[in-house]
Amino acid sequence: MDNFNTYQTPLSSRYASKEMAHLFSPANRFYTWRKLWLNLAIAERELGLPIPEEAIEQMKHNLELTPEQFDIAAKEEKKRRHDVMAHVYTFGTVAPAAAGIIHLGATSCYVTDNADLIFLRTGLDYLIRSLSVLISRLASFAGQYRDLPTLGFTHYQPAQLTTVGKRATLWIQELLWDLRNIKRARDDLGFRGVKGTTGTQASFLALFDGDHAKVEELDKLVTTLSGFSYAYPVTSQTYSRKIDVDVLSPLASLGASAHKIATDLRLLANLKEVEEPFESTQIGSSAMAYKRNPMRSERVCSLARHLMVLHQNALMTSSVQWFERTLDDSANRRITLPEAFLTADIVISTLQNISEGLVVYPKVIARRIAQELPFMATENVIMAIVKKGGDRQEAHEKIRVLSQEAAYQVKQLGLENDLIARIQADPYFDPIKGDLETLMDPQSFIGRAPEQVDGFLKEWVEPALADADLQDAIRKSVKVELSV
């Protein structure tokens, strides 16, 4: 196994939630190893191996490591250069009746790999709950601004109007897909189980004097005791590293969703239409005192890129596992797997903090609409003229000329868009001048956006969050406070 001190808590854990940080902590890792050794001993005793009850009891009462035991394990690992054997020895010092049977028949990957699968499944559970809270927060925002018109953008150029709430549903929909994908990954996870050094279960077959049925039952018992519904039918020394690929894939996809949301918010901050939370004492720039930089959204983008890249590690590691296993996966996975979960956790919590303090500026939004809407309304004006008996081609030419004149005012002279004033001054448009205010109402340009928001929240978001566990997470969630 790897050298001493390879299971230190990753640096990013200090910024993650307490539960996620604890999940990948040395304390929880070695507690889980001990629980797996206990489960193995219980199952082996149940199937007839001569393991005394006293050994089981001593193991049960010493699952948590004390600081003194950590010191013993560290010294032993430094001497033996083998982490698992160091902890087998350390466990035996506090459970002496079990010292001779701890790890009986097992290979190191019995504890390391099975523990990793437990951590992956638990970590996915945590992310599902926190992602549900984020979706709930954004759903409230979408509902609040369901019918507030805002300028849409395609190619980051002014396009037809949408609403602030409708735009938020685009973010939520991607997060719903992430929620679905993470659930799928969690539900697909199996257990490595009791497979032996190269996956043949030879050592356990020897322990049970060639009784294949008992070896199969041992695998099932340990799997059940460890909380899994099934074990992978075949493994090598390790579980297939393709499992890590399957787990990190939805996390990388979540990173892409988060990056897109945070980028939209950064662009909106530049437009001064929507801003992330900004504290009263927060400083945006050491030189430019007026600045309100979207620091939280920038942080999300930064971490999301890291999260997306980590998936590549899992792919490469899976692709280079020779035959029954090579050890070049180990050090990489001890960094990659915790970092992926810790980073995903931070990304979600930061987005939650942003979503809970988003500030919308309707007057700024309305001003930008007023600058662009006259051009977008030209088709409505043409249709109105036609309805009054006018000629469509003649009306089109009139509007084309006036639009170019107004565009000159905006682009060449830096003035406001005066297209409507030009239309009002042209006698040709006398038949519809009384209708211009209605024709220019932003609400008439948002289509079914409000109804789409309502339908999406009711038919898609509510069912996705209806699970009792997710509702419990939403009820118990508190506002996330972040240091900027």
CATH number at residue 171: 1.20.200.10
Establish whether 444 is a catalytic residue. Answer: no
Selecting among 285, 302, 319, 444, the annotated active-site residue is 285
Length of the chain: 484
Q: Assess whether 269 and 177 both reside in one domain.
A: yes
Tokens describing residue 465: 């969050």
User: Where do we find the tokens 């930008």?
Assistant: 368
CATH of the domain at 86: 1.10.275.10
Do 284 and 415 belong to one domain?
Answer: no
Per-residue pLDDT tens digits of the chain, which is 484 residues long: 444 344 555 545 556 789 999 999 999 999 999 999 999 999 999 999 999 999 999 999 999 999 999 999 999 999 988 999 999 999 999 999 999 999 999 999 999 999 999 999 999 999 999 999 999 999 999 999 999 999 999 999 988 899 999 999 999 999 999 999 999 999 999 999 999 999 999 999 999 999 999 999 999 999 999 999 999 999 999 999 999 999 999 999 999 999 999 999 999 999 999 999 875 555 555 444 455 789 999 999 999 999 999 999 999 999 999 999 998 888 899 999 999 999 999 999 999 999 999 999 999 999 999 888 887 778 788 888 898 888 889 889 988 898 888 888 888 988 888 888 888 888 888 888 888 878 888 998 999 999 999 999 999 999 999 999 999 999 998 777 765 5
**Against a cut of 0.75, is the pTM above it?**
yes
Q: Tell whether 373 and 355 lie within a shared domain.
A: no
Distance from C-alpha of 329 to C-alpha of 112, rounded to nearest angstrom: 12
For 252, counting Cβ atoms within 10 Å of its Cβ (0-12 exposed, 13-18 middle, 19+ buried), the class is: buried
Q: Are residues 84 and 40 both part of a single domain?
A: yes
Query: Does 394 lie in the same domain as 356?
Result: no
Residue ranges with strand state E in 242-366: 274-275, 359-360
Residue 46 belongs to some domain of the structure: yes
285 is catalytic: yes
In a shared domain, residues 321 and 175: yes
Looking at the fold, whether 356 and 369 belong to one and the same domain comes out as no
Q: Total structural domains in the chain?
A: 3
- Let me know whether 134 and 275 are in one domain: yes
Q: Is residue 159 part of a domain?
A: no
Same domain for 301 and 263, yes or no, is yes
Burial pattern 418-439, b for ≥16 Cβ within 10 A else e, equals: bbbebbeeeeebeebeebbeeb
117 shares its domain with 174: yes
Long-range contacts made by residues 427-433, C-beta under 8 angstroms, separation at least 24? 428/395, 428/398, 429/381, 429/385, 429/398, 431/385, 431/388, 431/389, 431/390, 432/381, 432/384, 432/385, 432/388
Identify whether residues 404 and 383 lie together within a single domain: yes
Which residues form the domain of 407?
364-433
**Which of 76, 104, 132 represents a domain boundary (last residue)?**
104
